[in-house]
Amino acid sequence: MAGLTRCGADGGPGVRKGRAADADHRITCHLGPLLEARGMTLVQLSELTGVTVANLSVLKNDRARAIRFTTLTAICSALGCDPGDVLGLATPSHSSAKSVTA
């Protein structure tokens, strides 16, 4: 069962495929470059925001599936930026883009 996260006790609808199931989204996080530009570490950002280093690391490495508005607000306040500076939308890849014919 490698690569599966078992959510349902019976293996039914609660079973999700790992990272592939989440690959549909194109949201990217620019936390790494923002920190680098400010000469700041995740530990320092954690101290300023109250967000754990582990959660910030998940964001920085584009492994997050969601972000709370309170977390995004704290990050933006600490870095002096806007949500659009932290998050972006990647261009669709050719394999996931749907063609539209008229």
pLDDT along the chain (102 residues), means of 10: 42 48 80 98 98 98 96 98 97 64 51
DSSP secondary structure string for all residues of 7-39? -STTSSTTEEESHHHHTT--EEE-HHHHHHHHT
Q: How much is the pLDDT for 10?
A: 45
Q: How much is the pLDDT for 24?
A: 76
Q: How much is the pLDDT for 98?
A: 54
Q: How much is the pLDDT for 76?
A: 98
Q: Are 14 and 8 in contact (CB under 8 A)?
A: yes
Q: Which CATH superfamily is domain 25-85 in?
A: lambda repressor-like DNA-binding domains (1.10.260.40)
Q: How much is the pLDDT for 93?
A: 79
